[in-house]
Amino acid sequence: MSETIDEEPGNNNYGFHGIVNNSGEYTTGSDEDFSKYLLDRMKQLESRNTMLKEQCGQIESEKRFMESQKLKYERESQRLQSELDRLKSVPLVVANVVDVFDDGRVLIRSSTGPQFLVKASPELDEDLLIPGSRVALNQQTLAVVDVIPVSDEPVISAMEVIESQEVDYSQIGGLDDQIREVSESVELPLTRPESFVRIGISPPKGVMLYGPPGTGKTLLAKAVAHRTNATFIRVVGSELVQKYIGDGAKLVRDIFEMARKKAPSIIFIDELDAIAATRLNDTNGADREVQRTLMQLLAEMDGFDNRGDIRIIAATNRPDVLDPAIIRPGRFDRVIEIPLPDQTGRESIFYIHTDRLSIDGDVDLAKLAKLTEGASGADIGAIVMEAGMFAVRQNNDSISMSNLVEAVDKVISAPDIINDPSLQMFS
Ligand SMILES: Nc1ncnc2c1ncn2[C@@H]1O[C@H](COP(=O)(O)OP(=O)(O)OP(=O)(O)O)[C@@H](O)[C@H]1O
């Protein structure tokens, strides 16, 4: 037997350097030995090549499998995410965590009292689920879908608290009578309480402003707060009962508590109809929630001294649906209509909104007021803003009458305005 050697530095280009014969001596070998070596080497390389090709094929098919798995999981994850978003977007019930068990179940207490043993969504960070934390539950399954961060506590997010208001009566157009009435019933009891004591009458506890949207109800409430240096606390009725179900009554308590702490204060309840609509006999869960919130509001109103330094103003666009209990004496006993502005009102609102702007000398506010019959103060604000945008787009230095007429058309979509012959001079 002879053994090929290729460790030694070679004398050919194939890595063949010689053989060791049967006597153990090294020899460079014959041509035959060299051919045999090449043949063996070729076979070796071919089989290695085949093996590597197989491995490569195997890895390729594993890669394809992994890619299809990845695609499948991505789709699954998207589906779960949209399911989760959907669950989170429906109104959620707020509850407190009482205990968390090892098997992932959570004992919660709803704000209306009963306790439930529920599951937590797997997406939730378990570390945040601790006894005492506030959580949001899916309304149907009661699964915990979110942990409410401390800064998102309903009492804070449900109300807007502004300690000093910038709005003044002079920024409200066309509501002189209403300003006087609100001032008498809200401002005087706060600024001159002794006058009421002297005469022996009680000021109204609550004032209700009703009228179409955008007519200045919120503006009026803010202006009163400014005049009295009172803290302005604004809550929206629909949010109290729809955003954090089960918490409406507690929120009402918290709001009055906050008003007492920050007194003198004005609580402004926007969309009062969402919590004070006429009660039906056949009530479902959501109606009961509304009722509980309203009962708490009435209890708070009945409980506080109307000579104190908390005033309540409510606003609604739907006075027709209100529960009569809400306007009983000692509650919202002063009801003030805030109507759409008339010609003079619209003119003064145009004046207020254009006063600080750069406008052309020929701008005719009376004409604009005439063109905007049926428009609210908010519509007029939007018209002026839109006219300003037209002027900016045209690179002008000031707002022209034609900018305003065009804006009227855009905001209140009244096509006849453009065809009105008396306005041709402005277009
Ligand atoms: N009488 C008004 N005078 C001047 N501006 C007004 C008047 N009414 C409304 N506006 C303008 O419209 C905006 C919206 O008005 P505001 O929020 O007070 O209306 P609202 O009656 O409370 O509406 P909603 O019922 O929709 O809550 C104001 O910020 C102001 O720019």
- The CATH number that applies at residue 280 is 3.40.50.300
Pocket test for ligand 1, best of 166, 175, 215 (most atoms within 8 A of CB): 215
Output the pLDDT for position 307: 67
Closest CA to ligand 1's atom 24 = 213
Phi, psi of 398 (to 5 degrees): -150, 170
Whether 145 contacts 121, CB under 8 Å: yes
Residues 170 and 300 in one domain: yes
Residue 134 belongs to a domain with what CATH number? 2.40.50.140
Residues 271 and 292 in one domain: yes
Residues 146 and 99 in one domain: yes
Which atom of ligand 1 is least distant from the CA of 171?
Answer: 4
Output the pLDDT for position 115: 78
17 is in an annotated binding site: no
Whether 267 contacts 162, CB under 8 Å: no
Residues 118 and 135 in one domain: yes
CB atoms within 10 A of CB 109: 14
Q: How far apart are CA 423 and CA 426, in angstroms?
A: 6
Whether 211 contacts 178, CB under 8 Å: no
Output the pLDDT for position 22: 66
Domain with 51 in it: 1-87
Sequence-separated (6 or more) residues with CB below 8 Å from residue 197: 307
d(CA 217, ligand 1 centre) in Å: 6
Residues 16 and 72 in one domain: yes
Q: Are strands 105-110 and 92-100 parallel, antiparallel or unpaired?
A: antiparallel
Burial 59-91 (b: 16+ CB within 10 A, else e): eeeeeeeeeeeeeeeeeeeeeeeeeeeebeeee
Output the pLDDT for position 94: 79
Sequence-separated (6 or more) residues with CB below 8 Å from residue 183: 169, 224, 227
217 is in an annotated binding site: yes
* Domain end (from 301, 322, 337): 337
Q: Which residue has the tokens 């707060």?
A: 225
Residues 130 and 101 in one domain: yes
Residues 161 and 295 in one domain: yes
* Domain end (from 337, 355, 375): 337
Per-residue pLDDT tens digits of the chain, which is 427 residues long = 444 554 444 445 556 666 666 676 666 667 787 788 889 989 999 999 999 999 999 999 889 888 888 888 888 888 888 777 766 666 678 788 888 888 888 888 876 667 788 888 887 887 778 777 788 888 778 888 888 765 445 555 566 676 666 888 999 999 999 999 999 888 888 888 888 888 888 888 889 999 999 999 999 998 988 888 888 888 888 877 766 566 777 788 888 888 888 888 889 999 988 888 766 555 555 667 777 788 888 888 888 776 678 889 999 998 888 888 888 877 888 899 999 999 999 999 999 999 989 999 989 999 999 999 999 999 999 999 999 999 999 999 999 999 999 999 988 864 444 444 444 444 3
Q: Where are the beta strands (DSSP E) in 158-289?
A: 159-162, 206-210, 231-236, 244-245, 265-270
d(CA 210, ligand 1 centre) in Å: 12
Distances (CA, A) of 109 to 253, 270, 308: 19, 30, 35
Residues contacting ligand 1 via CB (< 6 Å): 172-175, 213-219, 270, 315, 317, 349, 352, 377-378, 381
Domain count, the chain: 4
Closest CA to ligand 1's atom 19 = 214
How big is the chain by its Cα radius of gyration, in Å?
Answer: 40
Output the pLDDT for position 297: 85
Which atom of ligand 1 is least distant from the CA of 316?
Answer: 25
Output the pLDDT for position 12: 53
215 is in an annotated binding site: yes
Output the pLDDT for position 279: 61
Residues 320 and 245 in one domain: yes
d(CA 214, ligand 1 centre) in Å: 4
Closest CA to ligand 1's atom 16 = 216
Cα 375-381-387 angle, rounded to 5 deg: 105
Which atom of ligand 1 is least distant from the CA of 173?
Answer: 3
d(CA 412, ligand 1 centre) in Å: 16
